[in-house]
């Protein structure tokens, strides 16, 4: 009985090993320019995150049609303001951005200024 099982397994293994892969090795194929259709980039997307428990708010919107790209992104800063960057890319003119802030900066009473921090030099420990 064990001999028959081993014999059947050997036949199955040999049959599986005999199969050749469907790909072949050779030099890369050369495509002519006519085989590719040239199309200008065109897309539009928008995403946003608004997490109330942490007051974390940020997002991004962008659209592109050929060489013309425009959009904006924003982030809620730790001081309470919303920083918004509106940008435009028009062909060869490069990236042009306008940065604006909404709201007023708020700091808690517990925050300390840089001058109030004590300077404590650290010694390197080698060992």
Each residue's pLDDT tens digit, 67-113:
889 999 999 988 889 999 999 998 777 889 999 999 998 887 665 55
φ and ψ of 92, to 5 deg: -90, 5
List helix spans (H) across the chain: 2-18
Q: Residue 47's beta-bridge partner residues?
A: 60
What are 54's two structure tokens? 């942490």
At a CB cut-off of 8 Å and minimum separation 6, what does 17 contact? none
User: What single-letter DSSP state applies at residue 27?
Assistant: S
* Prediction pTM value: 0.54
């Amino acid at each position: 009985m064990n001999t028959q099982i081993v014999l059947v397994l050997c036949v199955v293994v040999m049959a599986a090993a005999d199969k050749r892969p469907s790909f072949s090795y050779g030099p890369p194929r050369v495509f002519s320019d006519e085989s590719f259709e040239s199309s200008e980039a065109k897309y539009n997307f928008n995403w946003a995150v608004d997490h109330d428990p942490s007051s974390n708010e940020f997002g991004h919107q962008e659209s592109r049609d050929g060489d013309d790209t425009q959009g904006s992104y924003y982030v809620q800063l730790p001081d309470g303001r919303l920083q918004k960057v509106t940008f435009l890319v028009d062909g060869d003119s490069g990236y042009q951005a306008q940065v604006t802030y909404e709201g007023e900066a708020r700091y808690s009473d517990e925050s300390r200024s840089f001058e109030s921090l004590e300077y404590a030099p650290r010694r390197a420990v080698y060992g």
